[in-house]
Amino acid sequence: MKAIVFSEHGGPEVLRYTEVPEPKLGHGEVLVRVRACALNHLDLWVRKGLPGVQIPLPHIPGSDVSGEVARVGEGVTRVKVGQKVVLAPGVSCNTCDDCLAGRDNQCRRYTILGYLIDGGCAEYVRVPEVNALFLPERLSFEEAAAVPLVFLTAWHMLVTRARLQPAEDVLVLGAGSGVGSAAVQIAKFHGARVFATAGSDPKLKKAQELGADELINHAKQDIAEEVRKRTNKRGVDVVFEHVGQATWEKSLASLAAGGRLVTCGATTGGEVKIDIRRLFYLRWSLLGSFMGERRELLTILRLVSRGVLKPVVDKVFPLDEAAQAHDYLERREQFGKVVLKV
């Protein structure tokens, strides 16, 4: 099969479009003919190399996949050949206490397609049967691939970890990103007033179309000052943080007393500071969040199938232009998801 492969870490130039062996199926596994694979910042980090993480080389990246079931292994009973599917990106053991309790993202063997195992930037990908989920009929393959990782991450952050309530104020950093555009929609669906930041007015306009109520251009305006001004100096109840070092101080300064900051990433760096006196005096909650539970993705897909939540596709590249797609994502020019068509 054809696939995007890298054998060393580096820039987009290490990505090669080449021939590799088709995956062999084990018990309970299915082979999916990939039709679309969306990119995430995880793909950029894996390609560059992560400190302390040994990525098996050569490696096929890609976490967000949609396609059709091409073949099924022994013991597969739920999915059928030809069925259109979208793949849950998180792969767990499915037998430990956490998995059995529905907390599969806390499984000690949990990983992500395209991270420590080969992913979907290929004509075929192998996954456990439980990862093959129903593809909503209203979606194209490209739209379906734009759903799993970012909507699952945003849902787990806002709903499960931050326990967002109706009428609360939420600040979404980087609303033009895939996870940011998902967070705007999820927060609005739960009845929040959404403050969205982006680095350009066109991106803010698109965020407004998704439901954002208050728009902050962080290239021209001070995020914390704008939040304080528009909340009568109160601040927001929840900060949706995934940028890290560059926005950390402004994120904290935007929090109301008793507010919650939930974070899933550090795209600009992970070393931050905090005055713990402010933490306990203002009764803040700082919450970490990692991916989400497979059952949450089932809820998300039902809402997507009803048109309540909508995937946002910025640009589609052919698979053999993966290097150009990585470069485009790295320049942060997109609003929503960058997708590879296979």
Q: What is the DSSP pairing of strand 124-128 with strand 111-112?
A: unpaired
CA gyration radius, the chain = 20
Q: Give the mean pLDDT of the chain.
A: 97
pLDDT tier at 269 (50, 70, 90 boundaries)? confident
| Share above pLDDT 70 across residues of the chain, in percent, rounded to a whole number | 100
What is the rounded distance in angstroms from the CA atom of residue 300 to the CA atom of residue 182?
Answer: 11
**Which CATH code fits 151-288?**
3.90.180.10
pLDDT at res. 82: 97
Q: Where in the chain is the domain with CATH 3.90.180.10?
A: 2-147+311-341, 151-288
| pLDDT at residue 170 is higher than 90 | yes
pLDDT at res. 70: 98
102-112 residue pLDDT tens: 999 999 999 99
| pLDDT at residue 53 is higher than 90 | yes
Stretch 273-288: mean pLDDT: 96
294-310 residue pLDDT tens: 999 999 999 999 999 99
What is the rounded distance in angstroms from the CA atom of residue 170 to the CA atom of residue 268?
Answer: 21
70-84 residue pLDDT tens: 999 999 999 999 999
Question: Which element (helix H / strand E) includes 16?
Answer: strand 16-19
pLDDT tier at 333 (50, 70, 90 boundaries)? confident
Does a cis peptide bond (omega within 30 degrees of 0) precede residue 21? Answer: no
Residue with tokens 């998801």: 337
pLDDT at res. 288: 97
**Which CATH code fits 2-147+311-341?**
3.90.180.10
Structure letter (DSSP) for residue 138: T
Residue with tokens 């053991």: 93
Q: pTM of the predicted model, to two decimals?
A: 0.96
pLDDT tier at 212 (50, 70, 90 boundaries)? very high
